[in-house]
Amino acid sequence: MARYSEELIEEIRSNNDIVDVISSYITLKRSGRNFFGLCPFHKEKSPSFAVSPDKQIFHCFGCGAGGNVIHFVSKIEGLDFKDTLEVLATRAGIELPVLDNYEDEKTAKLKSKVYEINKIAAEFYHENLYKPTSKIAQEYIKKRKLDNRTLKAFLIGYSGNFDELYKLLKQKGYTEEEMLASSLIKKADGR
């Protein structure tokens, strides 16, 4: 799944002052260096919910809830991490990059390459069947009484030497990753 960078997350966090954000949900009163209020995450009559502007964190001495501004908004709004970041980025006027589906596109591309490879392999094996080196296969076909039409229709083939297919695919510009994904080519030990 696509994710925002750590730098961007930090930018969003540091541009949303925790006291400002929490003040929009509950009333905070300053006491010394910190702010206190009634915890929104548990029922209480005297404030045990503390917010530190210096550390930009909150902590409830009653229920133990705590964290930074992202945790607070996520918890109080019931949003997941990504949606919380979007809310806070909007609030701070930070433009988020469109999380493109780079990974998805990569997978789709690989899939179509694998499909092509399988098609090439089937045709390659099929042609292989008619070569003089495929005597074993030809005799088998004769025995099974498979006519040429059947052989063509089902692209029945003979694999013979695996290295040949590898060379052919390499020549056609397929990468090792694509070939391995097709499962037609396997990595030999020590290669």
Residues of this chain that interact with Zn ion (CB under 5 A) are: 39, 41-42, 60, 62-63, 65
- The CB-of-67 to Zn ion minimum distance in angstroms stands at 12
Residue 100 backbone phi and psi in degrees, to 5: -70, 160
Q: Return the structure tokens found at 158.
A: 């003979």
- CA distances for 15 relative to 21, 89, 91, angstroms: 11, 8, 9
3-state secondary structure of 125: helix
Nearer of residues 62 and 160 to Zn ion, judged by Cβ:
62
Separation CA 51–CA 35 (nearest Å): 5
133 DSSP assignment: G
Tell me the CB-side half-sphere exposure of residue 25, using CA atoms within 13 A. 19
- The CB-of-38 to Zn ion minimum distance in angstroms stands at 9
Nearer of residues 2 and 63 to Zn ion, judged by Cβ:
63
